[in-house]
Structures are given as C-alpha cells and as structure tokens.
Structure 1
C-alpha cells in the first residue's frame, strides 16, 4: 500500500516537474463581447469613456450588410448600395497575472478600412488597407489580475467610392489575443518549401525566424517535426543555434521517405510543429501546414501537378458571402467551395485582394489551385478614394505581409500582383511590376508571379515588357489565344478571367437565336435589357468586353498552351451590377446566384469538368400554349440525347463542332418534357421537368441537419414554393415569413434576385422564381432548432435541425 502511494506521489511530482518545463504560446479567441457604435465618437478612444448604451455583439461583424439598400448611399450600386460610414468598437478584458512576463499581441485578420487601434488609451497605429492582416504588441500597456483593459478600434469606411465591388464595413475577420515567451517564433515566422519531391522521397526545407526580446544573446534548441494527418510524428530534426539579435532566421532540412503527395483529388496535409527549447525548457510551439507537391508551368503544354498534365478549372470569387456580407464564416465559405467542387471546379482566384486566412485553410483541405492576388490598382486609381491614395506609403508592407502570411499554404500556386492595372499602358507599369515581383521573390521563390492583363498585344502591355512576370495572365480577349505563342515567344499563359457572361437564375427570354452583348455601346447606360432588371439564363448574354461561358471555355479547352482559366465569376456578388443601374445592386456574372442556387450554366461546366454522368435540361415547362420554346440540354458520358414531350419523340441530338449543348425548338403544350441520354444505344440518364400547377405548398430542405453548437455553425435552408405534386412553381414570388425556435437564430435571408431591395437581416423574404433561402446560426447550447415557414395562401412547413456539442 505504501509503495503504491509512493509511486503515485512520485508520478505526480514528476508530471508536475515536466509540465513546469513546458511553455507554449497562448492564443485566445477575441471575437466575443464587444461594444459597437455606428457613427463617429472621438472620445470613445479614452479609457474611461462610458459605452453602456452601445450595442453588444460578437465578431466578425459587417455593419453595412445590416442596412437598407438606397440609391444615395456613397458606395453606389457598384459597391452594393448599402451604407458605409464610421464605426467604433470597444472591448473590455482581463489578463491573468501569469502572463505578466509574456509578450502579448493583438492580431487582426482584416478590418475594412482605415483601422485605428488603442489599448488602455495608448495609440497603436493605423492600417488603411481593408484586406491586410496585422498585429500590435501590447505587453507594456496591459494591466493584470483583476484590472480591466480596454481595446478600442475606430473603423473609417466613409471615404467613398473606394471599391468597384461590395467591401463591407467593420472588423469583418477574426481577432486574437496572443501571449508568447520572450523567445518565440516570430509572426508568420516559418517558411516551408519542398525543393526536391519524388514519390519516393521529399526534402522539406524549414526556415524559422525566432524573435528575441530578452536583449541578450540566447542559445536555443530548435526542433522541427513532421506530423502526418493522423497526428503521428513521422520524422524530425533538432539543431542548436545562438540568437544574437532581436530576430534571426535558421534553416533546417528534413528528408521524408515515401511522402503522400497533395493533389486536387486527395489533398493530403501534413504539418510542421516547431518547438524552441532553452536548457531543456520548452518556450514555444508553432504549427505550420505542409502539403508536399511539385508543379510546373510550360509554354507549350500548360500546367502539370506532380508530373500529371492538369488543366486549371477555376473561378474568380469576391469575398462577400451573400446575405452574410463580408463577415467571414468558415461554414459559409466551405459551402461555397463544396458547391464549386461538385461542379468540377479545382481552382480559385482570390479577386482582387488578400483573402481571409480561413479560406486558404479550406482550399488546402479541399484541394483547390489558388491564385492569391494583392491589388486591384497601383498608383493610378480606379475610384476616387481607393487604395491608390495609400499606395506610396503602404504597398510594400501590404504585399510583404500577404506573402509572409500565406506562403505556407499548399493550395497557393501563383502570386498575382495586380488586376487590370492602368499602368500596363505606360512605362510606369514596367518599373512598378519589377518592384512588386522583387518583393514577392525576396520572400518566396517557389511560386511564379503573374498579373491579370487586359491586352494580348505586346505593344500595349508595359507590365509584360518589364520581364517581371513568370506567367502571363490574360483577362478576356479569347480571340487572341491562338496567337499567344507567336506574340509572346517562350512565355507561359493562363486565362485569369473569362466569360463575364450574364444570367438571372430562372429567367428565360425567347427566342434565343443570337448572342447579346450588354450594353451594345460599351457605356454604363443600359441600351438593351428587361424592365425588371433581369437577364436571360440561357448562355447567350454577356458584358460587352466578354463572351458566353461556352465560347470562352471552348477557347481555353482548345489550346494546350493555356494552363487553365478562372471564370468570372463563381458566385454572384454584391456590387458591380452591370449592365443595370439601381435598383440592381449585385452582379449577374456568377455561375451560381447570390443565395447559392446554381444557374443552368453550372451544369454546362459540370458536364465538361467532371467524369460523373450529367444530364440537365432547361428551361422550366410553364409557357403559353403554342409558344415556341428553345429547349437546351447539357450532357456528358453519352453520344446523344432524345427529347420527348408527353412521350412523343421530338428528335435525337448529338453535339456537333464545338457545341457543348444540344437544342430543340418546341411548340409548347403542358405536360412532361423528358430527355434521355444514351451511349452506344444504352440509356445513361433520364431527366424530366413538367408543367407546375398552382402554388399550394412550401417545401424546406437543409444542407446539413446536424450542426455544431459552437455559436458559429450554419444551416442553409432552401425554400421552394411548389404545387400539390411537389413541382417548383417557376414564377412563384410569394412572401415567405420565418420563425425560428430552439437553440438557433435566423441570420440571413436571400432569393438570388439581383434587383431585390429587401433587407438581408430580417425574418421574411419573397421567393424569386420559386426559391428563397434562410440561413440559421447555432448558439453555444445543444438542442433542437426549428424553422417554420409560412405564407398567405400556401400550406406552411417546418424543418427540425439538431445542434450538438462537439
């Protein structure tokens, strides 16, 4: 008995001694319990200011998305026609006495824009660019134990217009409080590269920057370990170094046998865990993602990944999340990527600014080829109050911070230093492009640099003439793809933007006999369009500078020297509602609408970009008797499609020439329209649509019925107005009212209609062409969430979700 007690005491003492030798950084989520005031209140920076009347909220937060649409908003419809202005945030917090000898920082992933920060009345600084991540050391200003600290942030988005798209306003990305030892790995202080990779062996190069705030030279032991996806340590290296100055960078090489390579179908992730020891006492531990892969861009043959020729099948996306605005939410971003992945998309171009870091985490995990982009303009402005006014003072710092923050993500394959930059037309483009490329290459030589160019004529392109670009990115001008190798010998190419085709989900203009470019005169004034600010969902309408999805994809598919494409755009986004003026307030370019409902052209890409069998027919089947209707079918894995109306064959169609779809002209009669695709005479798929009757019911379906009770998880509920047989009524526009009970709340509603002026933050929404969306967010309590939907004249419905503690 005494022996057992002795062993227990010894184990307790030994475990305590070991834990006493272990230190690591402490990262505290700083998103909860803020106070917010919309308007300017200069006294709010003072520590003793009374903010009892201010609104309480959690971050991330976008105050613009909470507002009402209005034509007189300074951001204009180009910026989403939502309010901007000035806002103040205040947060009180306590810090344990145990952190008094630590180095403390507050980190912001993004604040739009002109963020000024104070801690306990001390001014820390200002960051103009609304997309940059940044941090401040606050150690010397902190109070400890039971004393309260006061963090204050002023956000100024009042200078308008400053963007060509919706930006949001506020602290719209995550915030953290970080405590480290006085010897610790620096902010974004690791750089992982893989200079040699085969299927048998990979050399992993680890560069680690150690920050020393002791004011003395320090002897450290740096241990870097490779951890596999299961959490098991595979191999490691350990070396001793002396940190003589305030910071020093050390290089280690680790050889990994039989690595599992990261690719777009199986994006396997390791991680590097870096630890600092002084006299066997651990002072820091830092994790970095690791994806092992090799890739190449070639002039004649395009892109290859791990030695396999691979066409980049990408989309461009802006940062807003529809009804949620710019406030980031991991599940909302994941849902967008899931929808794109299902379409066959394997690439994302971040347009046109540094993204939320969580988006890159998701791209790492889900397998996307990312083009990370820094700027939409350089010194020459595109808007009166845009980033050009901050260029001279901030472009170097903002670009460096983007590269240092993002360079360890295996999903990133290309750095873009700009989009349709106006300096490309004169010699200033040569000088600036060289400077920016040199900044990137100083920090990362493992990836190529590009810029999205608008001219395929070398004489009009000074950025190309600089020699600073490793890959030439071209926006539109697909007619010039055939001559790229001749006009730009030995260069490498990618289509950084294609299409700019326009569609409104569920709207079909007949007949569809030609491609329409809007507006015809190339000016902002509408010259041809619909009175309800819609665009036909047949793929036959495009902005005057672009073309249809089918034409642009065919041009990329045809030429092996084009490494791939990024379609403009994956999703509709707030702002830039070409070709219409207000009340249009969001774009028409998306393959998927703002609510996340696919447009018909989604299935064109799915039929081309995936190996799964696809058969999709359009339009709906509710028309006037005798009307001639264009019927299209997208399909793959088959030789032909036969169309039937009420079991009568309307003929067989096969793809001819470069056509990606087949079509029929059909005299309308109500009933069932059915398509059958066949391969060698055998049926592959059968799809049918039928005439919908009177709207009688509300149907609800949810993307995920089981949620996480973490206060952040989301359920996206699709609301369909149907007839008694469950057919969606294609012209239904009923007002749907929502009520949520249980442990969730309604955080957004939408219907995908680009000219809807209904607010996003309310408990009702009109259906548009039979559909709308309700977004439910969990609380930090487990239980049931019940959404009930009602509408006058329709049978109501409810859906139950379960929220569980992880």
Structure 2
C-alpha cells in the first residue's frame, strides 16, 4: 500500500508540473499572438520575431534634398508596397543611358520612406532591419541617423536599428535612397529600387547571429548521416547601460525535424561573454536518412533553441537537405553515389513584365516550366539571386551554381562594380556565402564570370584571395569560375590552382584539349549555346547562321526587318552554336559534368543581334512571357523519360511554298509524317536530335506519328487555321491566395472557329479587371515590343499574348475581360481566398 501511495504522489507531482508548465506556455503565447515559434513548456520566454516589412512605404522618383530628415514633408509621395522596381514602370527609349543592353528602360534615383511604431514591450530587445537587395548604391537612415551604404545591388544585408529607435507612441522613420543614375553599370537589365523583400527582426540580447548557423553533413551513407552545425551566438547585452559583465552560461538545443516530427535532439552548454560573438560546434547522427535530390527534394528542419537558466532567449530554424556529391576528372558529376549529368540553364534575375521586383509565384512559375523541360540545375548569372529563389530551388529540386561577380577590378561597363570591388568584394562575398551556405541546392560557389584578369597575373592573386574567403566560411562545396581561355599558359585564373572545378564558356571545339591542358582537373560547360530564336518565326536554312558574324560587327548585317530570328535552331551569335550541337558535345563526354545553357528564359537587355527597338534577349529556350520556343521540346525529349512528339511549324503558308517540317521525339524509334492523310515518309534520328521533311504546302492537316517497335507511341497534328474569330483565355492557376502578392498568368490566344491558334494574329487586345485583383503586367514574348508592360492592352504576337493578374488582400472573385476589334469580348473568372 505504501508503495502504491508513493506512486500516486509522484504522479500527482508530475501532473501539477505539467499543468503549470502548460498554463505558463498558453499565457506566454497569449501575450503576443504574432509570436509563431513554440518554446519550451513552463519557461518564461521571449522569442525572435521576423515580420514582413513590405507594406505602407512612400516613394519619390528623382533626387530631392533633405528627404532623409524626419521633418521632411512626404505627404504627396506615392504609396506602394515592396518589392518595387521603378524602371519597369517606365517607357522604352533608345535615349536611356543604359541603352538597349540595359533593356532601354530608365534608371535614376529613388527615395523610399516608411513610418512605424514599436511596442514598449520591445524596449529591451534588439531591433534589426533586413534588406534582400537594393539596386543600387543604397543609403539607409533611421530617424535621421545614417546606418550605412551598400553599393552592390545584389547583396542582402542587415542594419541594427536598436540605438536609434523609439518605443511606445513615438513614431519611427526608415528612409532609403537608391541611386541607379550612373549608367551603364550592367550588361543586362538591372531594375532599380528596393526590389527584394524587407523584414523587421527582433531578438533577445543573446541570439543566433544574422545567418548564424552553418550546417553540413560530413559523412552520409544510405544507412546513416552525420549532421554538424556551427552556431554563432551574438551577445549585445554589454552595450546597454548597467549590463552585467559576467559571462552567461547558455544552453544550445538542436532538434532535427522531419515531416513526421522530432528525430534527434542534442544539447550543449556554452559560455557567452558580453558584447561578443561565440561559436558552438555540435554534431549528431541519424539513421536511414532520406537524401535530397532533384528527383526527391526532401527537406529537414533544424530548430536551434538558446536558453539561459529558465529563460528561452531565441529560436532559430535552419532548412537542411542531406545529400553528398562529387566531381570527378574522368567520370563527371555524381549525386548520392549516382552518376548524373548536370542539365542546367543560366538565368538572369528579371521576371519579364514584372521587372526585377521579386515575386515568389513568378519565380516558382519559371522553375515549373524549366522542371517540365527536364532541367535539373540553374546557374544564377552573374550575381547572387534572391534568397526566396534559393528556397524554391531547395523545395523543387534544382542544383545551383551560385555566382558572386561579373567583374573584378577590370570593368566591363563605365560605372559597374569594378569601381567598388577593391573596397567591398570581401564583405560582399562573405555575405553571399553566409546567407546561402545552408541551401542543399547550392553545389558550386562561382567567384566570377569571364573575368578580364584571366589574362594577366593579377588573376592569380585575386583568385587565391577570393577562394580563400569562400573556404574560410564553407569548405564543403567546390569553388569555380566561368572561364573563356582554354590555353593553360594564358589562363591566369586557372594557374592559381585555387579552383576545384573549371568552368568553360563556349569553345566546344576545345573540349578534348581540356584534360591535356589542365591535367587532373574537373570540368563543366558553365555556359553554352547562345542560339537565337523568336517564338513562331520560321526561316529555312541548311547551315547554321551567325548573327552577328564576328566580333567586328556589333549588329547583324541583313537581318530580319522586323527584328526577329528563326525558331528552327539555325541561328546563333558568333561565339555560340546551336542548341543541338552544344548539347551533343557535352552529352558524349563523360568528363564534362554537365552544362548550363545560355539561357533558360529570354531576359530584358542584351538584345543580340539587333539595336533598338530590340530590348530583350533572343537566347532563351522560353520567351519573356513564359511561352516555350520549339527547341524546348528538344531538351524535353533528351532530358526526360517522358514520351515526346512535337511537330512544327504552323501550317498557314502561301500557296507554292516549300516548308521545312521538324519533329522532336523520344521513347520511339521513328516518326512518320502525313499531309491530309498521305504519307510523306518515315524518318529516324541519325546525326541530329530531330527529324525533318521538306513539304510542299497545301492547306489541311499535318500529322506526325511516332512508333517504337512498330507500335504507335504518340501522334500530333497541326491544322491550317482559318480567320481569327475569338479570344480564348487559359489560366495557369484559377485559385489564388488573397495576400496581395499571388499571381495568375493568363495565356491569351486568338483562334479560329475550330479553336486553332491563328499564327499571324496581331490584334490589339485590351484588358479590364474587376473585383479583388489588379492587372500586374502584360507581355507577348516579342523581343522588339516597346509598348509598356504596365499598359491595359497589348498586341498579340504570333497569335498569343499574356496578362498577369495579382490578387488583392481581400478574398473574393476576380473578373478579367479581354476584347479586341472583330473578336468580341471574353470574360474569365478567378477566385482568391
């Protein structure tokens, strides 16, 4: 009986402890419902808050004196939400100083101001502001105090607001100046302003530092993985009057979470001095890890909790993907022990009609289109991307080459980063590595692209310095630079012997020399192709045309009067080649780890081979509006396991025309072509990655049938279209989130009565939006279209255009009306919740 009574008393004590702890936890959560992280039961705690700081800014376009002063009158300034790119709102003009290489859009100077209050409860906490990126030469003030400047437009950074802010009823003012007036400073469209996200962060005096965790997996097998985390704690308590000089005994608890909950917890005691940075090193193992890969991008979460005594000071989450990879000088690339080719594309940072302003859905859509093509890797050229884009690569399964610089001390443009390199390169590179090192998608650190120091001894010195900066912060990934010089005696960057992988741009004819010129090195084709296509334009040629023909010409001679290029994959810039040729040269060499095609999407600026009014590139596999060009299906047939049959071109031609008909196919042995039921013969792939026929045009139906072992795999038809008669709208998503940021991309087609797209349709289509949404942009993919992306109308190009709808902040329906002369009106409904 005594034993039984003792057990009852123990149970009662544990019940009381649990109840008190539960009640304390509920009470603490009730104090601030915005605090989203759940702390330890029963502790008196305050936690980190990371709040969206994008709403309710004011903007002024132009330079103005005194705008940094709190008393400045900004009542007439425009109200807007971030991220914001003022350049994309401007009109195209050849007179803009950036020229058409910069997208023929304006730069200039812009000012932003935002007022906010801080609760009295935050008085004993640290207050930070985090900027994802400001283009460029940013200056930031808080309540009239200059916090700092950052010249680099692509770098994320933080400022400590704590010494200068007010709490309670007194208002705070944050002011930002972005100066993009000195141009040209970029070889492509940069955008202007606070074009990435801004967050307000509050922490205790002792907390995980900014980008303060570094997670690695030093040993991984199918049965077990070792996980190591270095945690940097920042203690700012010594900066406050009356703060204790005694060191604090902190407890660092790491908990690994997967989709099912907790996996492993480890705890370490760490002495933290006042006004200091302290690093803690913790490791543990897990059994049967699920490995991250492009096919299965599985993610874990590491939760770091910092406690002192019974007070929870901070909770910080780090995403983790467990994987291992290697580059081999003979066998190329392997991931998790499996050989694979890196099937990548290069991507600039603009989002077409949205400009440089970051939008998660717009970036996600681009990645979805590339994933469907079979792409498994992105080279972010030639600068660090938005952090949200790397998050998407982690989640969707893309390998990433993360690139820091397009130039070092030797300039490529009059006002580019070369002016800031000497003073800022170390800090900018360190910030990129710290921010991005926990992303499993990142497998390569690139320190430069086609750097001009490649050709002299300064290249050796700077390469060693930059590689040393990277390795001091992350020794788990290779360092690379995208090179052009394949002669080892002239390549001073490679001579530094500080690069772990050598990337080479173009010059496929030298591939077989690389192992001889650089013995024992590992290789990747860091940039290939530079082929030129305009969607829906078809010009026959039995040979590859180079536009321009050489470096002696800036623009093509005798190009097309409408500033277009053929979509047959038969035109390239003089330094490049066709898509088929570039891929075949990499595909057949095991020592080439893979490639990054220039480019995945068309991008604003660099409109080779034409002058203005051309204002965006022709290099993309996908056009600026997001419509795939025909060559997209060549990659899909080569880079995926799905059956593919894509036959082109359209079938509306002048009588008597002889037309080249191409087909890309996979999972089949041959393709047979029929015209109005008559066989035009069967073709098999030989030296090319497509099959083709020369066909005398007659109206009707062109039909292709692919077969394997004599059995039909797929069929595809192209019909002669009749007169344009109606507008068809198709949405990529009809259900949106009512957050003011979500997007739906509506493809607008001009069709005949039977639903066939009319390939030469060019009607002006007008749009109106009613309900809980707004028009975010329009585009048609035509590289020389100089109508505004923000106008409520646009001409169809080759029968198509695009309208982008942004959700409002209230749920409900959104009605989009599209109308054109002689085509009537079409209404489409979206909903948001």
Identify the TM-score tier after normalising by the shorter chain.
over 0.9
Q: In 2, distance between residues paired with 1:8 and 1:118?
A: 47
1:138 to 144, 153, 161: 161
Out of 178, 190, 210, the residue aligned to residue 167 of structure 1 is: 190
The 2-side partners of 1:42 and 1:471 are apart by 49
Deviation track 1:336-391 (CA, whole Å, cap 9, x = no partner) reads 00000000000000100011000000000000010000000000000000000001
3-state secondary structure, aligned to 2:806? strand
The question of whether the paired residues in 2 share the 8 Å contact of 1:576 and 1:586 is answered with yes
Q: Structure 2: how far apart are the matches of 1:419 and 1:387?
A: 13
Q: 1:468 aligns with which of 487, 498, 505?
A: 498
Q: Is the 8 A contact 1:104 1:139 kept in 2?
A: yes
Is 2:770 aligned against 1:741?
A: yes
> Equivalent residue for 2:685?
655
Paired with 1:335 and 1:15, the residues of 2 have a C-alpha distance of: 40
Q: CA deviation at 1:11?
A: 6.3
Equivalent runs, 1:432-471 vs 2, <5 Å: 432-471=462-501
How far the C-alpha of 1:207 sits from its partner, in A, is 0.3
The answer to whether the 8 A contact 2:346-2:379 is kept is yes
- 1:414 and 1:606 map into 2 onto residues whose CA distance is 25
Q: Map of 1:317-332 to 2, 5 A cutoff?
A: 317-332=347-362
Q: Distance in 2 between matches of 1:7 and 1:195?
A: 39
Taking the TM superposition and a 5 Å limit, the aligned residue runs for 1:508-523 are 508-509=538-539, 511-522=540-551, 523=553
Equivalent in the alignment of 1:424: 454
CA distance in 2, matches of 1:9, 1:159: 63
Q: Does 1:788 align with 2:799?
A: no
Residue of structure 2 equivalent to 1:700: 729
What is residue 103 of structure 1 aligned with on the other side?
126
Residue 234 of structure 1, aligned match among 256, 263, 275: 263
Distance in 1 (CA, whole Å) between partners of 2:46 and 2:254 is: 16
Contact 2:25 2:43 in 1 (8 A): no
Which residue of 31, 35, 42 corresponds with 2:54?
31
- Equivalents in 2 of 1:412, 1:551: separation in Å? 28
Corresponding residue for residue 127 of structure 1: 150
Query: Would the aligned equivalents of 1:638 and 1:677 in 2 still touch at CA under 8 Å?
Result: yes
Q: Output the CA distance in 2 between the equivalents of 1:762 and 1:538.
A: 32
Misfit runs of 4+, over 2 Å:
3-20
1:795 Cα shift?
2.9
CA 1:255–1:13 in structure 2 vs 1: closer, same or farther (change >3 Å)? closer
Query: Which region of structure 1 is more displaced relative to structure 2, 58-67 or 475-484?
Result: 475-484
Contact 2:24 2:42 in 1 (8 A): no
Query: SS of 2:237's equivalent?
Result: coil
Whole-angstrom CA distance in 2 between matches of 1:629 and 1:493 = 41
Contact 1:676 1:684 in 2 (8 A): yes
Quick one: distance in 1 between partners of 2:224 and 2:543? 55
Find the aligned partners of 1:157 and 1:423 in 2 and give their Cα distance.
26
CA distance in 2, matches of 1:751, 1:10: 60
Which residue number corresponds to residue 537 of structure 1? Answer: 567
Q: Give the counterpart of 1:16 among 18, 23, 27.
A: 27
> CA–CA distance in 2 between the matches of 1:9 and 1:345?
54
CA distance in 1, matches of 2:498, 2:414: 28
2:435 and 2:300 map into 1 onto residues whose CA distance is 18
**Cα 1:667–1:277 shift into 2, 3 Å:** same
Within the alignment, does 1:188 sit opposite 2:217 as a pair?
A: no
Which residue of structure 1 lines up, in the alignment, with residue 784 of structure 2? Answer: 755
Q: 2:342 aligns with which of 299, 312, 326?
A: 312
SS in 2 for 1:664: strand
Q: Deviations over 1:674-699 (max 9, x none)?
A: 00000000000000101001001101
SS in 2 for 1:593: coil
Alignment partner, residue 746 of structure 2: 717
Q: Secondary structure at the match of 2:394?
A: helix
The answer as to whether partners of 1:519 and 1:528 remain within 8 angstroms in 2 is: no
State the SS of the aligned residue for 1:761.
coil
Aligned-pair CA distance for 1:776:
0.3
**CA distance 1:13–1:728, shift in 2 (3 Å):** closer
- The alignment partner of 2:83 has SS state of coil
Q: Is the 1:229–1:268 contact (alpha carbons within 8 Å) kept by the matching residues of 2?
A: no
Kindly tell me: are residues 477 and 6 of structure 1, through their superposed partners in 2, closer, same or farther at Cα, counting changes over 3 Å? closer
Q: Which of residues 268, 276, 293 in structure 1 aligns to 2:323?
A: 293
SS in 1 for 2:179: strand
- Give the conservation status (yes or no) of the 8 Å contact 1:375–1:419: yes
Question: Does the Cα contact within 8 Å between 2:646 and 2:664 map onto a contact in 1?
Answer: yes
Counterparts of 1:10 and 1:67, CA distance in 2: 58
Q: What is the SS of the residue equivalent to 1:45?
A: coil
Shift of 1:16: 3.4
Q: Cα deviation per residue 1:107-132 (whole Å; 9 max; x = unaligned)?
A: 10000000000000001010000000
Cα distance, 1:13–1:506 mapped onto 2, change above 3 Å: closer
- CA offsets, 1:118-174, max 9 Å, x none? 000001010000000011101011111111100000000001000000000000000
Q: 1:638 touches 1:684 (CA, 8 Å); kept in 2?
A: yes
SS at match of 2:111: strand
Q: CA deviation at 1:437?
A: 0.4
Native 8 Å contact 1:748 1:774 kept in 2: yes
Matched, 1:283 2:306: no
- In 2: Cα distance, 1:10 partner to 1:362 partner: 38
Contact 2:643–2:666 (CA under 8 A) maintained in structure 1: yes
Secondary structure in structure 1 of the residue aligned to 2:564: coil
Query: How far does the alpha carbon of each residue in 1:35-68 deviate from its partner, in whole angstroms, 9 at most, with x for none?
Result: 0000001211000111000000000000000000
Number of the residue aligned with 2:802: 773
Q: Aligned to 2:152, what secondary structure does the other structure show?
A: coil
Query: 2: CA distance between counterparts of 1:32 and 1:122?
Result: 22
SS at match of 2:584: helix
Residue in 1 that maps onto 2:530: 500
Shift of 1:777: 0.4
Contact 1:267–1:364 (CA under 8 A) maintained in structure 2:
yes
The DSSP-based 3-state class of the residue aligned with 1:190 is strand
* Paired residues, number: 799
Q: How far apart are residue 236 of structure 1 and its match? A: 1.1
Match of 1:678 in 2: 707
Structure 1 pair 320–14 and aligned structure 2 pair: CA distance change class (3 A):
closer
Q: Distance in 1 between matches of 2:649 and 2:110?
A: 46
Structure 1 position 112 matched with structure 2 position 135: yes
Preserved contact between residue 520 and residue 528 of structure 1 (Cα < 8 Å)? no
The aligned residue for residue 201 of structure 2 is 178
Please say if residues 313 and 345 of structure 1, whose CA atoms lie closer than 8 Å, have aligned partners that are also in contact: yes
C-alpha deviation, 1:521, in angstroms:
3.2
2:630 paired residue among 579, 600, 604: 600
RMSD: 1.5
Which residue number corresponds to residue 345 of structure 1? 375
- Alignment check: 8 A CA contact 1:512 1:630 kept: no
CA deviations over 1:549-580 (Å, ceiling 9, x no partner): 00000000010000000000000000000010
Q: Structure 1: any 5+ residue segments left out of the alignment?
A: none
> Contact 1:782/1:803 (CA < 8 Å) preserved in 2?
yes
Following TM superposition, by how much is the alpha carbon of 1:229 offset from its aligned partner in structure 2, in angstroms? 2.8
**Residue equivalent to 1:626:** 656
Residues 349-498 of structure 1 correspond to what in structure 2 (within 5 A)? 349-498=379-528
* TM-score, length of structure 1 as denominator length: 0.98
Report the alpha carbon displacement of residue 5 of structure 1 after superposing the two structures with TM: 14
Q: Distance in 2 between matches of 1:20 and 1:273?
A: 17
Give the structure 1 partner of residue 116 of structure 2: 93
* Superposed CA offset, 1:415-436 (max 9, x none): 0000000000111100000000
Q: State the distance in 2 between where 1:12 and 1:559 align.
A: 65
Deviation of 1:30 after TM superposition, in Å, equals 0.5
Shift of 1:731: 0.7
User: Aligned-pair distance for 1:525?
Assistant: 3.0
> Residue by residue, what CA displacement relative to the aligned partner does 1:454-510 show, whole Å, maximum 9, x if unpaired?
12121221101110110000000011112221221110000000000000000111x
